[in-house]
Amino acid sequence: MMSETLIEIENLHFAYGERKIFNGINLKIPRGKVVAILGVGGSGKSTLLRLIGGQLRPAQGSVKVAGRKIHELDRDELFAMRRNMGLMFQAGGLFSDLSVYDNIAFPMRELTDLPEELVHDLVLMKLHAVGLRGTSALMPGELSGGMARRVALARAIALDPMLTMYDEPFAGLDPISLNVIALLIRRLNDALGVTSIVVTYDVTESLKVVDYIYLIHHGVVVAEGTADELTASADPVVAQFIHAQANGPIPFHIESPPYRQDLGIAG
């Protein structure tokens, strides 16, 4: 029987050199849901996606995808697992020298033996799903920021993955484009029956479309629940982040030596 949990992260520890990112983080991602990973800049949200994708290995703990520990897979097993994952990179990450059509076709050509006639139909299908079938002949440089994100979204779902990960999909977008991307993530998740992880610091849009939320701070999950539960939370960290309060337990300044010490001023 297939487990209802697609991703399970247990007691995860990870650091970049001396800088600790995760200090025993635990979370579960259920199948078929849209789950948001929220946190301030530098909290490790994108790092978590790299750990799920096997680009990084935990120092301690485990990352399981579909019941298998990602960091224990050999090269062939890891590549096979990644074929079932789609990733929408920060800022889109489109190949600038390839047309919109060829950007979408790229994973199909690289990872499958599909005939070009079928690739053609699938590319147009994916572009149609994001409302951009008419841009197939354009180059990425000819697209607006919002259109480029929608093309990147289409590429992320090109192979109908079981898991789609979105790394800061709303950053730098105008309000209309931002709302379009958010609704597309929700609609495509439901239409394809996949699981989606949205990594973002954008509270407003993510709360509209996700089923469940994890808030990461200081290397652990400090809160989890539905949008309504986190919005109503009295926890100072949660309240400050969700309601964008300037003052609270989340500091503006990154931890550093005293300012006078850095300036070399005695006393």
Q: How far apart are CA 77 and CA 137, in angstroms?
A: 35
Assign 102 a pLDDT band (cuts: 50, 70, 90): very high
Q: What is the pLDDT of residues 1-51, one digit of tens each?
A: 557 889 999 999 999 988 889 999 999 999 999 999 988 877 888 899 999
Residue 136, classed as helix, strand or coil, is coil
> How many of the other CB atoms lie within 10 Å of CB of 194?
21
Which comes out higher in pLDDT, residue 259 or 7? 7
Residues 6+ apart with CB under 8 A from 179: 205
Asked whether the beta carbons of 113 and 70 are under 8 A apart, the reply is no
d(CA 39, CA 52): 17
Domains belonging to the chain, first-starting first, are 1-32+43-84+196-267 (3.40.50.300)
- Please name which of 138, 188, 136, 200 lies closest in space to residue 164, comparing C-alpha atoms: 188
User: In degrees, to the nearest 5, what angle opens at C-alpha 190 toward C-alphas 117 and 137?
Assistant: 35
Alpha-carbon span 178 to 205, nearest angstrom: 8
Phi (first) and psi of residue 33, to 5 degrees: -110, 160
Quote the pTM value: 0.87
pLDDT, tens only, 154-185: 999 888 899 999 988 887 778 888 888 888 88
Q: How is residue 243 written in tokens?
A: 């309601």
* Cβ partners under 8 Å of residue 88, min gap 6: 149, 152, 153, 155, 156, 164, 165, 166, 167, 169
Regarding beta strands 68-69 and 19-30, do their DSSP bridges make them parallel or antiparallel, or are they unpaired? Answer: unpaired
- What pLDDT score was predicted for residue 236? 85
- Report pLDDT digits (tens) over 152-162: 989 998 888 99
